[in-house]
Every structure is written in structure tokens, then in C-alpha cells.
Amino acid sequence: AQKVTQAQTEISVVEKEDVTLDCVYETRDTTYYLFWYKQPPSGELVFLIRRNSFDEQNEISGRYSWNFQKSTSSFNFTITASQVVDSAVYFCALSGETGANNLFFGTGTRLTVIP
């Protein structure tokens, strides 16, 4: 079965602090994809990154970086020098053959950046 766990329900940081959002997943698939989405108060889910199970390279995009470790089934997301505009709910998601390639979301982490 596919499962995504985001243990941090809510996080508050002061602007300019770094913050890491944790994501742990379970799957029996050998080929799978991991995603991060941002959901601001407006409701739209904004795609941030997709990573396939064969690519464990970490990725950096501006202030965002992702650490994928298959050994611990984790796909963590770090925001460096957080800004108020980063305040949102962040979802980690998984898709794979077992779930007919549909997206399974974690429960989300609500990030509040305090000015």
C-alpha cells in the first residue's frame, strides 16, 4: 500500500530562518515518483518538484532544496531564509504502479512565517 507521512502538522518560524519539512513514505513499488506541492490560502496546489525513485540526487532551486534518501524512505524539503510568502500548507505526495499511478498525499504541514 502507498502511504505518505508528514509528522509535522504545523510549523512556525521567524522570517529569514531556515526550515525543513519532513516526508516519509512507504511503497512496495520499485518505480515510483515523489512530489511536493504548495497550497497557499487561495487553494491552488502549486507543483514544486517531482523526483523519480532512481534519481537520488539532491536538488536546489533558489531558496528551496530537497533531500531524497531511499535508505530511510524520506524526501525532505528545506526552505532557506524563509519569507512571509512561503506561508502555506505543503503536501508531499507519492505515485506508483500499486496505486495505478495516482497521487497519494500526505496530511500536509502548515508553515507560518512570522515577519
Partner 1 sequence: DTEVTQTPKHLVMGMTNKKSLKCEQHMGHRAMYWYKQKAKKPPELMFVYSYEKLSINESVPSRFSPECPNSSLLNLHLHALQPEDSALYLCASSQDWAEPYGYTFGSGTRLTVV
Residues forming the site for partner 1 (CB under 8 A): 33, 35, 37, 42-47, 50, 91, 95, 100-103, 105-108
Shortest Å distance, C-beta 18 to partner 1:
25
Long-range contacts of 58-62 (CB under 8 A, 24+ apart): none
Nearer to partner 1, 80 or 98 (CB): 98
Beta bridge partners of 114: 14
Nearer to partner 1, 43 or 115 (CB): 43
How far apart, in whole angstroms, are the C-alpha atoms of residue 22 and residue 103?
A: 18
CA angle 1, 7, 29 (to 5 degrees): 25
Nearer to partner 1, 79 or 104 (CB): 104
